[in-house]
Amino acid sequence: MEPEIEKIKSGYSDYFLARLSDREFDKLSGYIMQEYGIKMPPVKKVMLQSRLQKRLKELNMVSFKEYIDYVFSQKGQQEEVIHMMDVVSTNKTDFFREPIHFEILSSHVLPEFYDSRGNNTFRIWSAGCSSGEEPYTIAISLAEFAERNPGFDYSIYATDISTKMLKVAIDAIYKEDKIEIIPMVVKKKYFLRSKNREEKKVRIIPGLRKKVFFERLNLISDRYNTPDTYDVVFCRNVLIYFDREVQQDILSKICTRLKRNGYLFLGHSESITGLDLPLKHLQPTVFKRL
């Protein structure tokens, strides 16, 4: 049987979009849920079809059957799955998103640590860092605190499932409109403007970039081989993509990497209600490890 295709008219050229059948969607969504814990209900079929069109084009494939056969082949498991998850993952983020968290970090968490630190380095994990705006916002907050408090040192570990987003984060180059909300005095200290002013881009300064270590990590892995345990974990607007059972599993593992009396920050729409976790609720989306 010939693959089902839809002819689309665009300007002066014709091209073909493969259609994802219900059976093909079920196979892909089931795999994504099983291996990565990301919910893919039927309402996301059109979204998945649309996002994977680029992969079919780059691989010169004309049907999702051909693509799925490749994904589940030995070569596809080694080479294509990472690319598939890059396009499947949602990566909405901004600098100083949910600013109350950074106010709490600067006014409460950091002074508490500084008063009892000894010679310890303050360590933060940004779990689900996307294109880097969150860990660099954290770095700015910590750098500002370090400027006022001699001897304070810090490191940031940032992880995401998307290699594409991690590359953006490591490069640390952003459009100028991404930092519009940041005060000018902060922009001048921590961002470099591109020499080509037509590009309207900025880059995080080297001193801040070297404080953040990026790595790919799948949050539903059996265990997290993170390099340290952490004083604070940011895991914001990540859990919403998982069902309750997976949320319990992820947060339980995060708690094993969170120091006693360490802090966990979740997204504004996320909750631990009904979950069995060694966490004390301090205020909406802010918790302390017992």
Tell me the catalytic residues. 51, 160
CA-to-CA separations, 105 to 23, 99, 286, 289, in angstroms, rounded? 47, 10, 10, 15
Helices 81-88 and 22-36, packing angle to 10 deg: 100
d(CA 2, CA 76): 23
Structure token pair of residue 269: 């729409």
- Label the pairing between strands 122-127 and 230-235: parallel
DSSP 195: S
Dihedral (CA of 192, 193, 195, 196) sign: positive
Quickly list DSSP for 241-273. Answer: GS-HHHHHHHHHHHHHTEEEEEEEEE-TT---T
